[in-house]
Amino acid sequence: MEFSLNQLKYELKTPLIIVNYEENDLLDIYLTAALWLLLAIISTILANRLKISITLMEITIGALFGYVAYKFDFFDKLEINSDWLQFISGSGVILLTFLAGTELDPFTLKQKLKEISGIGIFGFFVPFTGSFLLSYFILGWEFQSSLLAGITLSTASMAVVYAVMLENGLNTTEFGKSIIGACFINNLVAVIGLGLLFTPFTYRTVIFILVCLILIKLLPTITVYLTKEFGNKTAAIRTKWILFLLFGFGALALWSGSEPVLPAYIAGMVLAGTISKDNSFIGRLRTLTIGFLTPFYFLRAGALMSIPVVISAPITFLILMSGKVVFKIFGIFPVISRFREDRKEKWYYSLLMSAGLAFGIISAQFGLTHGILTNEQYSFLVAVVITSAVIPTLIANSFFLPKHLLRKTINEEELP
């Protein structure tokens, strides 16, 4: 094939035009990413000075900055719904959920199954029923909207709970593992409820379950082989393998109509006995997750809260907030009391279980996308979910932190 000189010039010039166009887009992305990370740095400094959880501070700073951006008409500049930001923040919550799963090995889950399942199931049904009744009879929402509000406000946030306990050192204790397990059961029931009420059970669901069962059976063997053969090499194959698994499971979950956070937790739990003993590897994953990915997730979650909507109708907000927190706390407190005797442990457990975020926002977004919720209803639900991630957790850490467990953890770490 022959090319003329003009054709050759065209072939050389066209890529340059494309590169220049991409460079302009990349400039906006880099500037926006730098802004989000600056907010993350400010959040870290303030959290350190005020002795508040970094996670809660990031959510709060995100909400305040989102309000300022809305007030001064540059909210669109935050690119809060851009594909790249949703991918980074979504990756953060998936990895954080995976790390939470590694803290709860199958032996612990089996040992605490009665406690975890009881608290997790009651932690869904009591606030689901209360929120549904409040939305339907008090607020006058439609039946379908009220059902979705019940599911949205009955969820628990494994991401917030795990991040907060990681900062306090409770993630390694039996107490912390129980809370993480109860959060998982709570959200598992919520996902099942969302599927039964609003999404059909199709062949994709069957394929998703079968593939997960097969891969979960093979995961430990493959991971042990890769670790033994290549784990000490500089190629960081274990990190690549974990990320491949999480994104692969996530894609399959989305294709089937489920959520990528759920298989991430299961994968972490299945691989707990394989990788959790390598503290150096887990430490590097935590650095990647908490140092880079999760700030985007928590800041973005805060920015999604519409403060003007809350201010415009505070009574509606308070009614929904009571459905989320009051019904959750007083619904599971009697159950927790059957397994815990210490007063602070019982209240800390109850307050952390009332914190919501990822699954709550996902449920609300599902309702908005499918026309079940109006924009106003969506804004109220997201505002309540995000607020529930901050206030109960802040109260728990300020007044009910079980310091006797922290002292025990420190003393155990000091032993040779």
Q: Where is pLDDT greater, at 63 or 53?
A: 63
Residue 37's pLDDT band (boundaries 50, 70, 90)? very high
A 10 A CB-CB count for 357 gives 28
Contacts of 135 (CB under 8 A, 6+ apart): 141, 145, 146, 149, 150, 320, 323
pLDDT for res 407: 56
Tokens of 53: 């959880």
Q: Does pLDDT of 338 surpass 70?
A: yes
Q: What percent of the chain has pLDDT over 90?
A: 34
- Best CA proximity match to 154, nearest among 367, 326, 333: 326
The pLDDT value recorded for residue 188 is: 84
What secondary structure does DSSP assign to 354-414, as a single string? T---HHHHHHHHHHHHTTSS-HHHHHHHHHHHHHHHHHHHHHHHHH---HHHHHHHHHHHH
Res. 255: pLDDT tops 50: yes
What's residue 416's pLDDT?
Answer: 32
Judge whether 72 and 64 are in contact, CB under 8 Å.
no
11 has a pLDDT exceeding 70: no
Integer Cα distance of 6 and 397 in angstroms: 70
pLDDT in tens, 271-290: 887 876 777 888 888 889 98
Domain residues for the domain of 14 are 5-414
Alpha carbons within 13 angstroms on the beta-carbon side of residue 143 total: 2
Asked if 320 and 135 count as a contact pair (C-beta separation under 8 A), the reply is yes
| CATH code at position 142 | 1.20.1530.20
**What is the C-alpha to C-alpha distance for residues 299 and 395, in angstroms, rounded to an integer?**
20
Predicted confidence (pLDDT) at residue 134 exceeds the cutoff of 50: yes
**pLDDT above 70 (res 8):** no
Compute how many other C-beta atoms are within 10 angstroms of the C-beta atom of residue 314: 10
| pTM of the model as a whole | 0.78
- The number of domains in the chain is 1
**Cα separations in angstroms, 66 against 60, 212, 302, 306, 392:** 10, 38, 7, 8, 22
What is the residue-averaged pLDDT of the chain? Answer: 84
Residue 117 identity (one-letter amino acid): S
What is the chain's alpha carbon radius of gyration, rounded to the nearest angstrom? Answer: 23
SS3 assignment, position 347:
helix
List the single range of 126-140, 188-202, 346-360 with lowest mean pLDDT: 188-202
* Cα-based angle 374, 386, 292 (whole degrees, multiple of 5): 120
Q: What's the pLDDT at 61? A: 93
Structure tokens at 320: 């929904």
> Are 198 and 370 contacting, i.e. CB atoms less than 8 angstroms apart?
yes
| SS3 assignment, position 101 | helix
pLDDT tens-digit readout, 79-111: 888 999 999 998 998 998 898 888 776 676 778
Contact between 53 and 393 (Cβ < 8 Å): yes
d(CA 311, CA 240): 45
pLDDT digits (tens, 9 = 90+) for 179-201: 988 998 998 898 888 878 887 77
User: How far apart (Å, rounded) are the C-alpha atoms in residues 95 and 58?
Assistant: 18
Q: Is 271 exposed, middle or buried (0-12, 13-18, 19+ CB in 10 A)?
A: buried
Query: Residue 371 region, left (φ>0) first, then alpha (ψ -120 to 50), else beta?
Result: left
The answer to whether residues 373 and 364 touch, using CB atoms and an 8 Å cutoff, is: yes
| Least confident span in 222-236, 251-265, 354-368, 388-402 | 222-236
